[in-house]
Amino acid sequence: MSNPRKRIIVQRPGGYGAFRIDETPIEDPRPREIQVDIKACGINFADVAVRLGLYQAARGAYPICPGLEFAGVVRDPGGHSDGFKPGDRVFGASRFGAYATAINCPAEHLWHLPAGWDFARGASFPVVYLTAYHALHEVGHLRESDRVMVHSAAGGVGTALLHLLRINGNISVGVVGRPEKAASAKEAGAEFVIDKSAGDLLRRAGDISPAGYDLILDANGASTLRLSYRLLSPGGRLLIYGFASMFSHSGRKNPLKLIWYYLRTPRFNPFDLTGSNRTISGFNLIYLFDRVERFRRIMDTLLKWDSAGLIPSMPVRSFSFEDVANAHQAIESGKSVGKLVLMV
Ligand SMILES: NC(=O)c1ccc[n+]([C@@H]2O[C@H](COP(=O)([O-])OP(=O)(O)OC[C@H]3O[C@@H](n4cnc5c(N)ncnc54)[C@H](OP(=O)(O)O)[C@@H]3O)[C@@H](O)[C@H]2O)c1
């Protein structure tokens, strides 16, 4: 039996005009898959890279339905229900395909929606909190005494990082790109907030922590990486997990900017790393998507913290399914705070 389904498709990489909505029946779930009627899906910066054709993991996959996370209601639990039954409220992560009204999702990437969560919260949870936990605890080896700097502190991942740092008891410094985002970073838990548009990031960061920073989380790329490296304390760790500053705010690829930022991206010197006792790590969760055990373990911890009331709700701005171009425009503007979701 096949059921109707709408999907937002990027036919080929491009600007906002690249989106179209197609209507094709969804196939029956395969063994170990659960079919879910999607009610909301999260927008991530990676989706912009997918639309523009700049996401390595999506190469060769066009036409593609973007979307890495969703929340909805189980329609068909397939042959192996794994505790899921029709009508259950769930949320999950997917390797693309969540910009849709329905999805077949492997059971191991699906969780029951906690009581009290709406679909928007479920759709905005997995990517940013899994990323933040992985960054801090799996890659960053966070200690309670660490002084931590978080770039893009009012964005989706930035807010999740600050929430988890507060749970761990760390003093954190949030860096934002616009003065109007400072309040949001403060609210999320940053002890100090630096608005880098004022142009004195290095001085302000040094005033706040003269001994430097033990852990710095940077997904800007060329615009701040060199400075982040400079701000590390001896023994400090720099975590690189994105390159947002290579993007233009126009909704289109800017080849000159891409090349310029690529060339400006620092190539760190092993002699200097050794001599100054600094560590640089990078990660991209999309390439760890099959590490199911790890993600289930992390999500168990996150859901425990949530049920203990330790994770505050994240600011969420909703758009209608058809308004996907405006949702992308909002995240590309650099002005958004918290998460953006499409309501299906
Ligand atoms: N490696 C991974 O596994 C992984 C997983 C999830 C996300 N990420 C990365 O983490 C970063 C944050 O993702 P998110 O979805 O939560 O987005 P977000 O932080 O909500 O939005 C992106 C932020 O990046 C900053 N930015 C810097 N240069 C920009 C530019 N040229 N255009 C637009 N924004 C720019 C802006 O904040 P400020 O101006 O305030 O700095 C903007 O608000 C992205 O780089 C994303 O690719 C990586």
Quick one: pLDDT at residue 92?
98
Q: 33: which strand partners?
A: 106
Mean pLDDT per 10-residue segment, the chain (344 residues):
87 97 95 96 98 96 98 91 89 98 96 97 98 98 98 98 98 98 98 97 97 98 97 98 97 96 96 96 96 96 98 97 98 98 97
162 CA to centre of ligand 1 in angstroms: 15
- Which residue out of 128, 152, 240, 333 has the highest number of ligand 1 atoms within 8 Å of its CB and is therefore the one to mutate? 152
What's the burial of 85, exposed, middle or buried (CB within 10 Å: 0-12/13-18/19+)?
exposed
pLDDT attached to residue 169? 97
From-to residues of CATH 3.40.50.720 in the chain: 128-286
Domain 128-286, architecture per CATH: 3-Layer(aba) Sandwich (3.40)
Question: What pLDDT sits at residue 168?
Answer: 98
The sign of the torsion formed by the CA atoms of 332, 336, 337, 343 equals negative
How far, in Å, is the centroid of ligand 1 from the Cα of 91? 23
Instruction: Establish whether residue 332 lines the binding site of ligand 1, counting it when its CB lies within 6 angstroms of any ligand atom.
Output: yes
Dist. CA 242 → ligand 1 center (Å): 7
pLDDT for residue 34: 96
Report whether residue 336 contacts ligand 1, using a CB cutoff of 6 Å: yes
Cα angle for residues 299, 305, 308 (degrees, 5° grid): 140
Report the nearest atom of ligand 1 relative to the CA of 156.
Answer: 16
pLDDT of residue 2: 64
Beta carbons of 343 and 37 less than 8 angstroms apart: no
pLDDT value of residue 85 = 94
Domain with CATH 3.90.180.10 in the chain: 6-125+314-343
Report the atom number in ligand 1 closest to the C-alpha of 332: 33
CATH class of 6-125+314-343: alpha beta
The predicted pLDDT at position 87 comes to 97
